[in-house]
Amino acid sequence: MMNTKFSTVLFFLLILSQFHGKAQNSYVIPQGVKRILFVGNSITYSGQYVSYVDAYLSLRYPERDFEVINVGLPSETVSGLSEPGHADGKFPRPDLHERLDRILTKVKPDLVFACYGMNDGIYLPFDEKRFQKYKEGINWLNQEVQNNGASIVHITPPIYDERMGEAYANVLDIYADWLISKRYSDQWKVIDLHWPMRKYLEYMRLTDDNYFLAKDGVHPNDTGHWIMAKQLLLYLGEEQVSKANSMEEVVPQFTNGKEILKLVEERQKIMKDAWLTSIGHNRPGMNVGLPLKEALGKSEMLEKEIRNLLE
């Protein structure tokens, strides 16, 4: 008979094989889609997973000429909630309700990826009223995007490390499960990266008890962002990434892939602050971006470099 530890490792290997296999669902980006918008909180703003997706699409589908725009805003919620004394009492959490109309008007996206939930339970134990505010906010976001003629794909919140607090980790489990259920109850397009991240963390801690995906329990490291990007790409049917453990393993498959990834990351860094400043928001302490026209000029120069490397 197998011993308990070996059985446990084998079980997690089987679970992980599912993450490396076929995607949970499949969605092909329609031919008419050019502008792809990402909205979310600080995890989206930090942007590694957005840059990974942007670079992959540039490398894999250069003829599609996608424009990937990141307007994630740190601390933001879709629930409109904020805990007492947030940011040492300096400011309440920003609320997506305050700026979504401006985002959609200025960006005019064809497709939106939305990742909320991490901040929406305001780091407190589960409460039905707070959960209801999250659900109302997500439903509102879904309807507003569609009313503006764009398609929307929802993304489950990344995990909160239970070692930083089991109660809040459970809150995000519940929020993620509800969002996944919308696939079936309302035929929404939903990418689940919450449970793949959780299972990956549990698996890695079988052999390294000190392993983490986020030092503070919230903000994923590069590996965490790769898991996020990977689940998104698998959802888009990109099975080529299924066995890759990092973006660094993916880009060598393409000519000049490493150089193009760096240029994409540079472009994303310039443009996210420019878009945030142009759109406007209520969060203090953010970088003041370049004027949008100037930033777009720099982006065009970087795009020319990328195009030259793609040829």
pLDDT in tens, 203-226: 999 999 999 999 999 999 999 999
Say what the pTM is.
0.92
| Below-70 pLDDT ranges, the chain | 1-25
- Give the per-residue pLDDT at 17: 44
- Give the per-residue pLDDT at 7: 42
- Give the per-residue pLDDT at 281: 98
Superfamily the domain 25-310 falls into: SGNH hydrolase (3.40.50.1110)
Sign of CA dihedral 254, 258, 259, 265: positive
Delimit the domains of the chain by residue range: 25-310
SS (H, E, C) the chain: CCCHHHHHHHHHHHHHHHHCCCCCCCCCCCCCCCEEEEEECHHHHHCHHHHHHHHHHHHHCHHHCCEEEECCCCCCECCCCCCCCHHHHCCCCCEHHHCHHHHHHHHCCCEEEEECCCCCCCCCCCCHHHHHHHHHHHHHHHHHHHHCCCEEEEECCCCCCHHHCHHHHHHHHHHHHHHHHHHHHCCCEEECCHHHHHHHHHHHCCCCCCCCCCCCCCCCCHHHHHHHHHHHHHHCCCHHHCCCCCHHHHHHHCCCHHHHHHHHHHHHHHHHHHHHHHHCCCCCCCCCCCCHHHHHHHHHHHHHHHHHHHC
